[in-house]
Amino acid sequence: MPRPIEALIHTDALAHNLARARHGVPDARVWAVVKANAYGHGLAHAFEGLRAADGFALLDLAEAEALRALGWRGPILLLEGAFEPRDLESCSRLNLWHVVHGEAQIDALAMHKTHAPHRVFLKLNSGMNRLGFAPGALRAAWTRLNALPQVEEVSLMTHFSDADRDAAEGGRGIAHQLQAFEAACADLPGERSLANSAALLRHADDPAVRADWVRAGIMLYGASPDFPAHSIDHWDLRPTMTLRSRLIAVQTLAPGDTVGYGSRYAAAAPMRVGVVACGYADGYPRHAPGEPGVGAPVLVDGVRTRLVGRVSMDMLAVDLSPVPQAGPGSEVTLWGEGPGGARLPIDEVAHAAGTIGYELMCALAPRVPVRSVAADAG
């Protein structure tokens, strides 16, 4: 039989989280962001739960092609635009909307031969200093695009760097970027898109932030963009990915016995340790802590316990003290939905490992079988 590890994609939870996004911005349209293979969930799996979106936003032409093959006929937005001039041929063929963030992309559009003019989103660098035109250069770029016969419509967008934290939380918030956007885009026609997941959840009471399109990303996948300040329960979000496995062995330790490479965990008293068929080659973070008192959270048969020792390539160990009935074959939830209604949000595992839920989702290894499940299935 195969190793007992698998990832479950909860399509009902994806649909719920999309509905939650839409509820927060009833007068705006919602992009479902499915970049990075739908944040590691698999594009085809995620599409089943997100097909009620107004459009899909991504980076890769191959993923755009796959969405069309799945039957999607609505808007698709390339968030980083065309990487080279020939990409515009695919934009024409697949009817893709695309971001324009640099002069070279406008030059390529001016040379592109197409029978169907393109919808473009002109991006402002409002302070994140990643992609986009500087405020002083935006109007000239808009004028160039607006004059091109290859362009049907110009929309305007930016991206917030600190929507998840305001000044009281150690961040800058969004006010300075919102002001820069409004000043640079004043009186320019076209639809607007500003809000990412954090802005949608925290700042959508402002019509200028909601604008015409919001870009829902991490919230769709059951992680909180501002954890630990707020959990998914606070935002009424549900986990969309469960990584689960089983115990394949149990070891009984005497005081002083150690666990795993480097002997980083030493038993202070007699205890049972379960060995789980999951390791860093499956996408579980190797740097997750397993020292006494600080072990990353894990569920065994739905009961919360903790990691002990260092994560290996194919295995990790857990403390069975809270679950004395557990033995080989017991179900282990690394993150997501557990048996009996138990839940371990991915944010908690990521926080313990010093990273973010985004990274754990995207790091799910190809060797882990993935399947979609509906409500109450598993």
Answer for the pair 242, 8: CB distance below 8 angstroms, yes or no.
yes
Question: Tokens 């809270």 identify what position?
Answer: 322
Would residue 358 show up in a list of annotated catalytic residues for this protein?
no
131-165: buried (b, 16+ CB within 10 Å) or exposed (e) per residue?
bbbebeebeebbebbeebebbeebbbbbbbbbbbb
Distance of CA 341 to the CA centre of its chain: 23
Alpha-carbon distance of 98 to 42, in angstroms, equals 22
Alpha-carbon distance of 296 to 288, in angstroms, equals 6
Beta pairing, strands 331-337 & 297-300: antiparallel
In the three-class reduction of DSSP (H, G, I as helix; E, B as strand; rest coil), residue 178 is classed as helix
Q: Prior bond to 228 cis, omega within 30?
A: yes
Alpha-carbon distance of 142 to 139, in angstroms, equals 5
Nearest 10 degrees: Cα torsion 298, 303, 304, 306 = -50
Answer for the pair 230, 287: CB distance below 8 angstroms, yes or no.
no
Would residue 113 show up in a list of annotated catalytic residues for this protein?
no
Q: Which residue in 113, 221, 261, 284 is the catalytic one?
A: 261
Residue 124 DSSP label:
B
Find, among 345, 351, 334, the residue nearest to 300 by Cα. Answer: 334
Q: Which residue in 35, 123, 221, 358 is the catalytic one?
A: 35
Instruction: Tell me the catalytic residues.
Output: 35, 261
